[in-house]
Structure 1
Amino acid sequence: MPAGLLPMASAVQLAVQQHPSITDAVATLAQQTAGVDYAKAGYYPQIRAGMGTGTSNSSSTGGGSLLANISASQMLYDFGKVDSQVGRSQALVRRQQAMVIKQIDVISRSTAEAVLMVHRYQALTDTARTQVDAVDKVLELAELRANAGLSTKADPIQARARAQGARAHLGQMSSELAQWRQKLRTFVGEAGARRVSVLPGLEDDALWMSGTPDFQLLPDVLMVQAERQAAKAQLVSTRASKWPTITLDAAGNKALKGVNPNTYERRGMYHSLQINLSVPLYQGGAADAQINAAAAEEVATRERIETALLQAGDQSRAWKELALGGQARLADVEHRKQSILSVRDLYREQYQLGTRSILDLLNAEQEIHQADSDAQGLMHDLWQYRLEYLAATGRLREFFGLNNKIIQGMELLP
């Protein structure tokens, strides 16, 4: 990073590495990933061990006993119950991955917008400072002519009033710049105090619109697609719940004290091995209700995918048209600015010759400042439109060089 300069890409890369909302999303992703392992545990044996004590009224047990017991259960076949739960957990992981990507895009866009606004008010502050210098020169010229008796005392008064107005405008622009610097600092820390620069890509008329956007890779679309996969898995799971589950169960216990109640032997041992089948016979319609709900959710997610694609296409086209319109207007503003500069120089010569009033010269300086401010505002609006287009097409990460980087412990793949 150049000393004293904060490029937009560097600001974005710094912000995504430290913003707490991304940290939160990544931590939630770790939680969802652990849920996959939890679901996969259904494939493996479940082993339990424990101890118990009790008494029996049977005369053969001879009173109380202390038992150590162990049991194991292995699912043999469940008609897809565990498979569907694993699939649902994996879909939720993919959804959270898309959420992390979306949060990275949100912070990238917000940081880039803050950099762009700081850059805007840097330019407007410089323009306001240039206006102050220009009006001061007119004031100096007016005072020289008034002192020499070549013009009235009203000329310096009018010029001084304009100079005060120009300084007030400079103070306003400086205040706006300070406010946006503070907002930028919330993303990048003390680096936000540096002078900023925009990416060359925002100034390039072709780079920002190159290629065909793939809306299928947008985070919102990826999230809804993952939700649909989760809904499908939930539908399979609810349907499978109406079918039996077959397990292999083993159990054993040993009396550490007293008589084993299963064998009626003092300090006796007992064990069993069984294949069990269990199926719910009646649940009051709960299973059917869950199936209907899961089926409706799967249909709803399918429609949400279409909605997300339509919204993405509409937003990208809107920002693209705004950018093209701003680009066309920018040339007209630059032409107007050059014309006013020529008029200002002519008015200065005519004022020195006494054939032009001080108001004409001051108004020309004001027109130059207004044209310069309009050009800066329109240029930054154009850059803002291009930035929004990149966000709407899901290309912010590519544009700011975040792909294939480790973002807070998560590798960001294209």
Structure 2
Amino acid sequence: MADYKGIGYLRAKLVQKRTRVLMRYRYYEMKNAVRDFGLVTPPAFRAFSETLGWCGKAVDSLADRLAFREFRDDNFQLNGIYQMNNADVLFDSAILSSMVASCSFIYISPDANGFPRLQVIDGGNATGVLDPITGLLQEGYAVLQRSDSGAPVLEAYFTPGRTEYHQKGRGTIRTDKNDAPYPLLVPIIYRPDAARPFGHSRISRACMGIVQGALRTLKRSEISAEFYSFPQKYVLGLSADADPLDSWRATLSSMLQFTKDEDGDKPTVGQFTQQSMSPYTEQLRTFAALFAGETGLTLDDLGFVTDNPSSAEAIKASHENLRLAARKAQRTFGSGFLNAGYLAACVRDRYTYKREQLYLTRAVWEPVFEPDAATLSAIGDGVGKINGALPGYFGANNLRDLTGIAGES
């Protein structure tokens, strides 16, 4: 029997990682609290909070550009498995969760007829021991159901050819055997490397720190707006026996009347210099520039209009870092989806295939940036010239990969 770390080890590992995952989801959903220094904030305003959707924008701007099309040279009919499992939602859900939590998992289980069912589990509810060679797990653990308080109610422990289900208070309630050579829990990882095989979150520490600074700036600007809306006024030279001035009425009134006293003197009315909101705007813009540099976005993406509407080529050029990040994500996600399809095929056919049998099959994605009419015209000219020099170099498949437009059959 293989030397497994066991479900207890994986439970503790998930508890350790879950806190960081939930924190990133709070930033994505704009539910994070503002860490106020409390040095100059009046007590009446300390409970006041602001929200900012930059972290959600950083994730969505990249996730929305990743559109999985199909598996090409699909010798094991993986496309059919995914189409039978609501592929439009499954791919998008796995990609989005991976970018927030650094990884998500596809949980595979057979239905009543033995056909594989695929379900996405976020990184806060599953973990495992990764095989760095194949990108598959050596053993895995997932929480399939939680109570209202967040405690695990139904858990699954995955090993090659075997899935155990544990229920709170009842222990192991069922054990399912399968023909897959790896656990039926497949990681979908965003930007893995040798030091962090389970990847990196799109919402980095820098993103969270920048958002905190921007939120404090917004909070200070809102507090200052209270004083900006009603600038302070003053009256000099009132006699000691004058009636007290109603400050609220004096602020809202358009006309105030002051009579001379018995000596013929009159009071002097003035107003303090009105506070400017410009420093807050400039500081917020600085935070936006830092966040844009961290995530490959532009200031226009974050709500700061900097130029006239751009062409498709200009938008693509300004998002070069975003395009490179999307290309990188396509490679790693494609490998994960292929691994999940491979194990699902083993479950469907009740046969232990070898991973290298799928070496011809590859994931195909839609273009990161859809071409406009001018780009299509330029592509057409280029394709005509290249095919004139090398007949048949461009065909239906690579043209669709370039343009994202399927030809009429």
- Normalized against structure 2, the TM-score is what? 0.28
Q: Tell which has more relative contact order, 1 or 2 (C-alpha 8 A, sep 6+).
A: 1
Question: What TM-score do the two structures reach when normalised by structure 1?
Answer: 0.28
Structure having the higher helix fraction is 1
